[in-house]
Amino acid sequence: MKSLGNIRRSFAPWTDPDAKPFITFRNVTKRFGDFTAVDDLTLNIYHREFFALLGASGCGKSTLLRMLAGFERPTSGEIILDGQDIAGIPPYKRPVNMMFQSYALFPHMTVESNIGFGLRQDGMPKNEIAERVSQMLKLVKLEQFAKRKPHQLSGGQRQRVALARSLAKRPKVLLLDEPLGALDKKLREETQFELMDLQQELGLTFVVVTHDQEEAMTMADRIAVMSHGKVIQVATPAEIYEAPNSRFVADFIGDVNILDGKVSANGNGKIELAVNEGFTIRTATANGPTPGSAAGFAIRPEKMKVTRAAPADASVNAAPGEIWDIGYLGDMTVFYVKLDSGKVVKASMLNALREVEDPISYDEKVWVSFGETAGVVLKD
Amino acid sequence: MNKLGSAIFSRLVIILPYAWLLFFFLVPFFIVFRISLSTTAIAQPPYEPVFALADGLSGFFGKVGQFSFANYIWLTEDALYLNAYLSSIWIAGVSTFITLLIGYPIAYGMAQAPRTLRPTLLMLVILPFWTSFLIRVYAWIAILKPEGLLNQFLLSIGVIDQPLIIIGTNWAIYIGIVYSYLPFMILPLYSALEKMDNSLIEAAKDLGCPPISAFWKITFPLSLPGVVAGCMLVFIPAVGEFVIPDLLGGSQTLMIGKTLWNEFNANRDWPVSAAVATILLLILVVPIVFFQNAQAKAEEQGR
Ligand SMILES: Nc1ncnc2c1ncn2[C@@H]1O[C@H](COP(=O)(O)OP(=O)(O)O)[C@@H](O)[C@H]1O
Ligand SMILES: [Mg+2]
């Protein structure tokens, strides 16, 4: 069976037409004065899903999250949580908890009382609070820091306190606003997997905001790519990467080459595209623009091959060019190939071997080639 | 060269406040303290011993030998002084508390106001300083006296049918102190509340805390350094306040500032009034030390 990318877990309620979404944003708009931060947005999030909101800074991700937490009211539209419209419910009565971008730890309280704060609000008996707090401390591996104040902790430790505090009440939904933003790269990668394990273990619904695409790809079951208050595409990381629905998404996620042209044929599950670079690309695409309409072709660098000889198989797409630049990155080598039309495309090849017999070098004449399923056709 | 320059500069920066303290606090204090150890004399200045260069070393030690703590013992023997101290502390304490009760909501409101409006509000708080303190206290006489504005107003709307006697009572002093020192309470409170991170309140609400409870659990504890600073700034000058009790208070009003004034001017007893001042200073140094401790703690909390 073929599928896009590697599947992490067999969890896909969004493909089930009978599955009921856990959280629904329906035509939600949020305006600040005459600035529209969230624009007529509709979105479904499912129970136990790890959902990521991805987009450039200022595109309205935090605003969306804050509406779910209750700190902002939608200008119009409705938000439904577990079958209930939550418009009138104040933040302190919502079954969601948020991990703040700035952590927002209470500076005058110890780690312990920070984590227990929400439980004390609920009037939980003292011994149960103590038990839950020590459980949480263990979960985030901060047992020996229980009596410290936030300012006596490192950034990573504070982040884990914030996480423990937001998890302590066992919310139905945990909202995380750029949870790993302040951590360095290594700690961030470690924590990403910790968060995923936690989410699986506790069976919670996570909605995480991030502007880091790698982070979203690593952690999320599905990603909503946002731009200017709108959702452009909602899909699994593999779908977002391998089958972007628009130029914006293709360009936003990872590296991509986009070749512009006109559809010359469409039928039998194949589309032919005459690109401006002076050759025709055959793609295995069932639905697409009709012949004559303008379209783009998006292909990832690692899906293209660079060889000295033209590929023998005539069904493979190929174009001649010249090596313009080479970037050696260790794990792979990136070739910048100048096609005969003058356009430079990027092709990367894994360095599977340590030593290469007669490597391709600068200014050589080469062919870039790719198969029928290597790229996607983008409607204009 | 440059390094040397900056080293000298950083020394200077440290030395300046110390020099300031030395010349304008420590030296005057020692002069006062020295007078408090002297005895009254009908002379110019009205106390002895008086040091002169001509005394020589032995004369100097002889005069030092005349120093005594008799004035301090005198202060303990007459209940007037103790009562004046206690009454001053009581009046200053009550006034400080009332000032806090009024000042906190004002500062809180200012800190919550739109960012663009805040400088204007701050300006309004400082505005009274643009007229003389004395004139403003006199204005209160016009307001509070039996035929004054307040009584006329209350009589005209029928709340009272006899003018209230406020002037000459401790009520007038409370009103005067609270009015005069309110900006000193508001400013440090505002600065503490203004830099408060709003996401802390949101976090508290997020964890199930209704707004009022979030105020008491988060906002108020975090504004405590401001509360302490404001209370000190009001309490310390209020204890030694002289103008307000003199103008607004009556003959039965007992405040140490007034007592001191009487000793100094009416009785022309410089040594006793110097002793009164020295004790007053000691009473005030204790809260200052307390205040500094609180500040150091706040800094240690990393705010
Ligand atoms: N309280 C507010 N008042 C006015 N504008 C706001 C407010 N909150 C957010 N915005 C604006 O809304 C836009 C989206 O903000 P936000 O949701 O925080 O973006 P991000 O995707 O970076 O989290 C930004 O342009 C921001 O300036
Ligand atoms: Mg944000």
pLDDT digits (tens, 9 = 90+) for A260-316: 999 988 888 888 899 988 888 999 887 778 888 889 999 999 999 999 988 888 788
Q: Which residues pair with A49 in a beta bridge?
A: none
Give the distance from residue B228's alpha carbon to the nearest chain A alpha carbon, in angstroms: 16
Pairing of the two strands A173-177 and A205-210: parallel
- A305 CB under 6 A from ligand 1? no
Pairing of the two strands A332-339 and A279-283: unpaired
Q: Would B21 be classed as within a structural domain?
A: no
Give the contacts of B91 (CB within 8 A, at least 6 positions apart).
B170, B173, B174, B177, B238, B245, B255
Say if CB A317 and CB A277 are below 8 A apart: no
Query: Helix or strand or coil: residue A280?
Result: strand
In A, what residues contact B, Cβ < 8 A? 69-71, 90-93, 96-98, 100-102, 104-108, 117-118, 121-122, 149-151, 165-166, 169
pLDDT at site A49: 94
Which of B197, B201, B206 is the best mutation test for A, with the most CBs of A within 10 A? B206
pLDDT at site A298: 93
CATH number, domain of B94, equals 1.10.3720.10
Q: Which residues of B touch A104 (CB under 8 A)?
A: 197, 199-200, 202-203
Digit-coded pLDDT (tens) for A27-36: 999 999 999 9
Q: Would B38 be classed as within a structural domain?
A: no
A176-193 burial code (b ≥16 CB/10 A, e <16): bbbbbeebeeeebeebbe
Q: Would B115 be classed as within a structural domain?
A: yes
- Which of A216, A219, A221, A121 is closest to A165 using CA atoms? A121
pLDDT at site B1: 53
Token pair listed for A356: 């290469």
At residue A230, what are phi and psi to the nearest 5 degrees? -120, 150
- Angle at which helices A126-139 and A111-121 pack, to 10 degrees? 130
Q: Would B31 be classed as within a structural domain?
A: no
Give the contacts of B146 (CB within 8 A, at least 6 positions apart).
B163, B164, B165, B167
CA-CA distance, B160 to B175, in Å (whole number)? Answer: 19
Q: Would B249 be classed as within a structural domain?
A: yes
Q: Which residues of B touch A71 (CB under 8 A)?
A: 202, 205
Say if CB A119 and CB A133 are below 8 A apart: yes
CA-CA distance, A35 to A28, in Å (whole number)? Answer: 14
Say if CB B72 and CB B275 are below 8 A apart: yes
Which of A121, A154, A158, A165 is the best mutation test for B, with the most CBs of B within 10 A? A121
Q: Is B199 on the interface with A (CB under 8 A)?
A: yes
Token pair listed for A281: 């690309």
Q: Is B192 on the interface with A (CB under 8 A)?
A: no
Q: Would B160 be classed as within a structural domain?
A: yes
Q: Would B36 be classed as within a structural domain?
A: no
Q: CB-hemisphere CA count at 13 Å for A92?
A: 17
What structural domains and CATH numbers belong to chain A? Answer: 20-250 (3.40.50.300), 255-378 (2.40.50.140)
- Give the angle subtended at the CA of B245 by the CAs of B243 and B248, to the nearest 5°: 95
Name the pTM for this structure. 0.82
Domain count, chain B: 1
Q: Would B282 be classed as within a structural domain?
A: yes
Domain holding B214, by residue range, is 76-302
* A225 or B25, which is more confident: A225
Mean pLDDT, 10 residues at a time, chain B of 303 residues: 75 86 88 89 81 79 83 87 92 96 97 94 93 92 91 90 88 94 96 93 95 95 92 91 89 85 86 91 82 73 52
- A41 CB under 6 A from ligand 1? no
Distance A94 CA to ligand 1 centre (A): 22
- A300 CB under 6 A from ligand 1? no
Say if CB A216 and CB A54 are below 8 A apart: yes
Give the distance from residue B100's alpha carbon to the nearest chain A alpha carbon, in angstroms: 22
Residue A169: which of B205, B207, B222 has the nearest Cβ? B207
Confidence tier at A67 by pLDDT (50, 70, 90): very high
CA-CA distance, B159 to B61, in Å (whole number)? Answer: 69
The answer to whether the CB atoms of A107 and B303 lie below 8 A apart is: yes
The answer to whether the CB atoms of B209 and A117 lie below 8 A apart is: yes
Decide if the complex's ipTM is over 0.90: no
